[in-house]
Structures are given as C-alpha cells and as structure tokens.
C-alpha cells in the first residue's frame, strides 16, 4: 500500500510537516510505503483555465494538460492508495501553493454533469491536516472552520472519502519576544505546544495507521 503526503507549508519541519510525518510513521508501522512531497520545492502554477481537461476526445481529457514540475505528482496520485494533504491557515484558508495544487489536482476529474460527477477511476482514502494560530472557538466566528470543511468536501467528492485533523492555537514563532505582536498570550501558546500539540501528533499517527488498515 502506498500513501502520498503533500506539505503545503514553506516549513519542512514546522507544525504541518511534523503532523504529516506522524501520519507517515503511523502508516509505516502497518507496512505501508510513504512519500512526503513539499510543494514549496516545486515550480508550478495554479489552474490557467485552458480547459484541455474538458475537451471531448482530447488527449488531456480528465487530466491537467499544463506541464510543469507538478505534473509527475499529479500522475503519481493515480497510483496511490491514500492521499493526505497538509496546510497551515493563511488569511482564513490554505496556502496559495496548496490552493494551486488542489485546483490542478481535482478540477480535471470533476465533470460538468448534473449532478457533478468525478472521473477519478477508483476510491481512495484521503485526509487533510490543518494547522492554525486561532483557537477552535475563533475558527467558528472567522469562517475558517467552514473553509476547512469545504476543502474536506472537495477531497471526499473527488476521491470517495475524507477526514480532517485540526491543530489549533499552534506555536508560530521560535521566539515570540522578538516579534511585534499584541494578540497572543505567550504563556498560553507555550502551554498549548507542550500539552496539546503532542496530542495532535498522536492523532496524526493514528490517522496513518487507520488509512492503512
């Protein structure tokens, strides 16, 4: 079994990447093969609305026709058994790199049928890991919770199933005393990093095990 993990954060050892690695560890513990891709390492663009994926009888029908460094990853996803995406929340939603990746990944599979249909040839397990500075309560009033649900829905519609892991109130800066900010309680942030984030890591590990089983 193969599990592909996609990091939409610029940080390769930050909160998002750490949780994705824990998912990989969980999957590895059940004998799965895992691969972690860092989107910020790749040179690519979002959807350009060329619509080559929608042309009847076209050579790119059902697939993204734009060729760049993202193309091999998109092709590889058709061979995996599970897919896990991860992104920090930037301005209320996923990073620009993750958004561009999702456009290129899912739009070609989504048919303009009534109702909408997916062209992805089979069902695979998918997951989404979201990390954010805000508390769970704040995400409900800012719209972040809804945006995360939309992303989860898109994965479920395209690939057959999806689940999310929300990591709230994460530690953002290595040294908060050097940052101009008045919003965050540093003691509370430190407590969350020491007590809550390890619990999120365990949840991520269990997600990896669950996806394989």
Q: How far apart are CA 188 and CA 73, in angstroms?
A: 39
User: So what's the pLDDT on residue 7?
Assistant: 98
174 has pLDDT over 90: no
pLDDT tens digit string along 186-208? 888 889 999 999 999 999 999 99
Domains of the chain: 2-212 (3.40.50.360)
Q: What distance lies between CA 150 and its chain's CA centroid?
A: 12
pLDDT tens digit string along 134-166? 999 999 999 999 999 999 999 999 999 999 999
114 has pLDDT over 90: no
| Lowest pLDDT segment from 107-121, 175-189, 196-210 | 175-189
User: So what's the pLDDT on residue 133?
Assistant: 93
pLDDT band at 70 (very low <50, low <70, confident <90, very high): very high
Average predicted confidence (pLDDT) for the chain: 96
Q: How far apart are CA 72 and CA 113, in angstroms?
A: 28
48 has pLDDT over 90: yes
Q: How far apart are CA 46 and CA 103, in angstroms?
A: 6
pTM metric for this prediction: 0.95
Contact yes or no for 18/201 (Cβ under 8 A): yes
Q: How many CA atoms lie within 13 A of 14 on its CB side?
A: 23
């Amino acid at each position: 079994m193969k599990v592909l993990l996609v990091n939409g954060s610029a940080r390769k050892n930050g909160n998002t990447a750490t949780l994705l690695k824990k998912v990989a560890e969980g999957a590895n513990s059940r004998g799965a093969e895992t691969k972690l891709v860092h989107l910020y390492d790749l040179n690519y663009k979002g959807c350009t609305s060329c619509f080559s994926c929608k042309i009847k009888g076209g050579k790119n029908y059902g697939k993204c026709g734009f060729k760049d460094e993202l193309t091999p990853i998109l092709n590889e996803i058709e061979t995996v058994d599970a897919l896990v995406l991860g992104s920090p929340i930037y301005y209320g939603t996923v990073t620009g790199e993750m958004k561009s990746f999702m456009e290129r990944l899912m739009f070609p599979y989504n048919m303009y049928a009534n109702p909408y249909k997916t062209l992805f040839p089979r069902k695979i397990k998918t997951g989404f890991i979201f990390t954010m500075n805000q508390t769970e309560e704040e995400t409900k009033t800012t719209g972040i919770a809804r945006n995360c649900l939309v992303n989860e829905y898109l994965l479920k519609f395209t690939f057959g199933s999806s689940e999310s892991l929300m990591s709230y109130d994460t530690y953002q800066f290595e040294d908060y005393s050097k940052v101009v900010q008045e919003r965050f309680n540093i003691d509370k942030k430190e407590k969350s990093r020491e007590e809550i984030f390890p619990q999120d890591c365990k949840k991520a590990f269990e997600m990896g095990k669950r996806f394989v089983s």
